[in-house]
């Protein structure tokens, strides 16, 4: 099967909310769509936890109405962050993992592959380098292939 890749930047920023434009794009593409949501750690900002969870729930509800093939990719650790921020990310990932199970979404585990993996990040300690991007893409590709086979 041919895989058409659609990259959507979903904003979960506290001040903007979830954009409706990606959902509109999904409506044009039809029902048999594989959707993988990966949210970067700096995209979630320092928002209130309950608001972030509500935004994930809203996005999940909208995606579920379009396709049964939805996966959420675990947020990555941030090598430059302190223990408090890492714990916050792990806690949000734990919530997302439980929520995905409850909603029937696939959850893509990434943390173990990237924890203590400074060599997978650029010098800024936040963004992935080419090797890190390749590893993340392989994790996501495995899930997409499972959906399509």
Please provide the average confidence, as pLDDT, over all residues in the chain.
Answer: 77
Supply 53's token pair: 């969870």
Give the model confidence (pLDDT) of 7-63 as tens digits. 443 333 333 344 444 444 444 444 457 788 888 776 666 667 788 888 889 889 988
Mean pLDDT of 91-106: 96
Max Cα-Cα span within the chain? 44
Q: How far apart are alpha carbons 83 and 119 in whole angstroms?
A: 19
Q: How confident is the model at residue 144 (pLDDT cuts 50, 70, 90)?
A: confident
The two tokens of residue 26 are 């999904």
């Amino acid at each position: 099967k041919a895989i058409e890749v659609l990259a959507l930047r979903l904003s979960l920023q506290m001040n903007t909310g979830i954009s409706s434009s990606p959902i509109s794009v999904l409506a044009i593409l039809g029902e048999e769509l594989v959707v993988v949501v990966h949210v970067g750690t700096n995209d979630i900002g320092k928002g209130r936890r309950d608001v972030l969870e509500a935004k994930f729930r809203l996005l999940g509800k909208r995606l579920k109405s379009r396709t049964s093939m939805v996966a959420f990719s675990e947020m990555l650790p941030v090598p430059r962050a302190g223990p408090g921020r890492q714990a916050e990310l792990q806690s949000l990932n734990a919530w997302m993992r439980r929520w995905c199970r409850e909603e029937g979404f696939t959850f893509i585990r990434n943390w173990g592959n990237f924890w203590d993996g400074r060599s997978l990040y650029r010098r800024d300690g936040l963004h992935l380098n080419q090797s890190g991007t390749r590893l993340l893409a392989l994790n996501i590709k495995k899930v997409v292939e499972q959906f399509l086979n």
